[in-house]
Chain A
């Protein structure tokens, strides 16, 4: 387990380095450096431009720029925004809590509801409960955020008046966006849990547990589910990437502040350092979450721990 963890950590560091390097060169090797962009937007005299080139270090050879970029990065310095001139790390830090709140609550909803729905369907295989759960899961996967979000706002804000349609601040603002964002993952998890449970339930140790006279509830939740869980945990990690992407659309739909709004604005303003920062951060979060998922296999399955 120790060597597995170490190897996994090392490969994570390598992937992160590759992500950072790829992002750096992709943004620099393409036509149009940020300064030309600023000029084309009508900003500043020749002197300003020279100053800005110097300030951004664009006069140095690219390898030097790259090394400086890496050195800054490990200290948490992502450079300054071209538009606001504030540090990118500060701009991101301001918006990140909003996005994390949304992504986390959506993850919690999809894990809790998805697993419950999947277990419910599997334990009532073939009945109307199973049919209903499958239908709900398929709907969750198929209805795009752009439709479910509109329908939720229409129903819960405009018709029923239960929840605010836009903005943020209280938990009531968070309910609808997280629900809408969670739908696809909930459906995916529910379908997978059902398949996994149906594979596990006919196995002998389940029969043994029944023969011991254990309650069905205990059999399902403690014996069957735990053994069905590893593929589910993998999917939860992968779904987190989709969720991170989904926050961008969700934030826009519900007019919420957050990383999504930040990056869309940055793209429109051609604020490359800010875009670069968000892209690197998004990949880093996703990579680390999937590292945690891989490491959790050992906790879920003692065989992996020993092997």
Chain B
């Protein structure tokens, strides 16, 4: 059913994502350099066959660091998205399905959480937990939860009104069975779409926090920290910062386009604008 409605853009972005992910995974075999070893002999060398994306201030190969950095940035993005999706899905499901006081409490908390601009919320969480890569992942994940709760709860409320749920109730299905067998499969598509988009958002957000100096610390290869280090060198060695930010944009854009394509394929009623 997916194949019937596949879009060329979706396929291309999926291929790009696979290529990016594979090259980060296979980094040790794709590049002869060490992402951390400094080489004073080859500081700030422009792109060349030996260093396709040049070298940085410490003579490290930028391509190598972009590849290893992708491992960090992509896994932080995926982890943060999971950290938002799982609790968000659970809370939204229970809140929408059972209603009552639990629903009231969850919704009020969601309202309050959504009153914070999301980066400010993440900054607050990082401040409490102390800066660092793990805490940035948690902060970005937490900031994503309210979005899922809202979406899932809304979808559950809609599904609850449908005839097939009424029918299931009529033939005596337990609440648990209705929730797992009837409600969950019907909201899975929209959650999957949101989760895909959320990965892109989380990569971007985590990179920004590391860029601000609150996540990965030098010399850890990570896109945000690399962009920050290369910012001052823009005049003499633009490749140091442009390479990680360019690859980051490619990754984020393809994940977003894949999300768009998934939405069009899974839910033809939802139109994109």
Interface residues of A (CB under 8 A from B): 15-16, 18-19, 22-23, 26-27, 30, 142-147, 150-151, 153-154, 158, 165, 191-192, 194-195, 241-242, 244-246, 248-249, 252-253, 263-264, 266-268, 270, 272, 275, 278-279, 282-283, 286-287
| B238 near A142: Cβ-Cβ < 8 Å | no
Chain B min CB distance to A241 (Å): 4
Interface residues of B in 119-150 (CB under 8 A from A): 119-121, 123-124, 126-131
Chain B residues whose C-beta falls within 8 Å of the C-beta of A22 in the assembled complex: 112
Q: Is B213 an interface residue (CB 8 A)?
A: yes
Q: Is B214 an interface residue (CB 8 A)?
A: yes
| A242 near B252: Cβ-Cβ < 8 Å | no
Main secondary structure of the interface of A (DSSP, over half): helix
Nearest neighbor of A143 in chain B, beta-carbon distance: B249
Most buried by B among A15, A142, A267: A267
Chain B residues whose C-beta falls within 8 Å of the C-beta of A150 in the assembled complex: 227, 231, 234, 238, 241-242, 245
| Contacts A144-B204, A147-B246, A195-B273; A249 near B128 (Cβ below 8 A) | no
Chain B residues whose C-beta falls within 8 Å of the C-beta of A154 in the assembled complex: 234, 238, 242
| A30 near B273: Cβ-Cβ < 8 Å | no
Chain B min CB distance to A274 (Å): 9
| Contacts A142-B256, A146-B224, A146-B245; A19 near B127 (Cβ below 8 A) | no
Contact of A18 among B112, B117, B123, B246 (CB under 8 A): B112
Q: How far is the CA of A154 from the CA of B230 in the complex (A)?
A: 12
Chain A residues whose C-beta falls within 8 Å of the C-beta of B228 in the assembled complex: 252
Closest CB pairs A-B (n = 9): A245-B119, A195-B273, A241-B117, A282-B120, A147-B245, A275-B127, A18-B112, A279-B124, A267-B127
| Contacts A248-B119, A263-B123; A18 near B108 (Cβ below 8 A) | yes
Q: How far is the CA of A151 from the CA of B253 in the complex (A)?
A: 17
Chain B min CB distance to A17 (Å): 10
Most buried by A among B108, B111, B127, B238: B127
Chain A residues whose C-beta falls within 8 Å of the C-beta of B126 in the assembled complex: 267
Most buried by B among A143, A151, A192, A249: A249
Known pairs A151-B242, A246-B119, A267-B123; list 8 more (Cβ under 8 Å): A144-B207, A144-B245, A150-B227, A191-B273, A252-B212, A267-B127, A267-B131, A282-B120
Q: How far is the CA of A41 from the CA of B47 in the complex (A)?
A: 43
Q: Is B171 an interface residue (CB 8 A)?
A: no
Could you pull out 23 A-B pairs where Cβ atoms are within 8 angstroms?
A: A15-B115, A16-B115, A18-B108, A18-B111, A19-B116, A23-B124, A30-B128, A142-B256, A144-B204, A144-B207, A144-B249, A146-B207, A146-B208, A146-B248, A153-B234, A158-B235, A195-B273, A248-B123, A249-B211, A252-B228, A264-B212, A266-B127, A282-B117
Q: How far is the CA of A192 from the CA of B120 in the complex (A)?
A: 25
Chain A residues whose C-beta falls within 8 Å of the C-beta of B127 in the assembled complex: 27, 266-267, 270, 272, 275, 279
Interface residues of B (CB under 8 A from A): 108, 111-112, 115-121, 123-124, 126-131, 204, 207-208, 211-214, 224, 227-228, 231, 234-235, 238, 241-242, 245-246, 248-249, 252-253, 256, 271, 273
Chain B residues whose C-beta falls within 8 Å of the C-beta of A249 in the assembled complex: 119, 208, 211-212
Nearest neighbor of A244 in chain B, beta-carbon distance: B117
Nearest neighbor of A191 in chain B, beta-carbon distance: B273
Q: How far is the CA of A287 from the CA of B115 in the complex (A)?
A: 6
Chain B min CB distance to A193 (Å): 9
Main secondary structure of the interface of B (DSSP, over half): helix
Nearest neighbor of A37 in chain B, beta-carbon distance: B130
| A268 near B241: Cβ-Cβ < 8 Å | no
| A244 near B120: Cβ-Cβ < 8 Å | yes
Contact of A275 among B124, B204, B245 (CB under 8 A): B124
Contact of A279 among B123, B213, B227, B256 (CB under 8 A): B123
Chain B residues whose C-beta falls within 8 Å of the C-beta of A264 in the assembled complex: 123, 212-214
Q: How far is the CA of A27 from the CA of B126 in the complex (A)?
A: 11
| B128 near A27: Cβ-Cβ < 8 Å | yes
Nearest neighbor of A30 in chain B, beta-carbon distance: B128
Nearest neighbor of B257 in chain A, beta-carbon distance: A142
| A194 near B273: Cβ-Cβ < 8 Å | yes
Chain A min CB distance to B93 (Å): 24
| A245 near B128: Cβ-Cβ < 8 Å | no
Q: How far is the CA of A267 from the CA of B124 in the complex (A)?
A: 8
| B248 near A26: Cβ-Cβ < 8 Å | no
| Contacts A144-B248, A150-B231; A252 near B211 (Cβ below 8 A) | yes
| A245 near B252: Cβ-Cβ < 8 Å | no
Chain B residues whose C-beta falls within 8 Å of the C-beta of A147 in the assembled complex: 242, 245-246, 248-249
Q: How far is the CA of A266 from the CA of B123 in the complex (A)?
A: 10
Q: How far is the CA of A4 from the CA of B147 in the complex (A)?
A: 26
Q: How far is the CA of A41 from the CA of B256 in the complex (A)?
A: 43
Chain B residues whose C-beta falls within 8 Å of the C-beta of A244 in the assembled complex: 117, 119-120
Chain A min CB distance to B272 (Å): 9
Q: How far is the CA of A287 from the CA of B249 in the complex (A)?
A: 31
Nearest neighbor of B128 in chain A, beta-carbon distance: A30
Chain A min CB distance to B134 (Å): 15
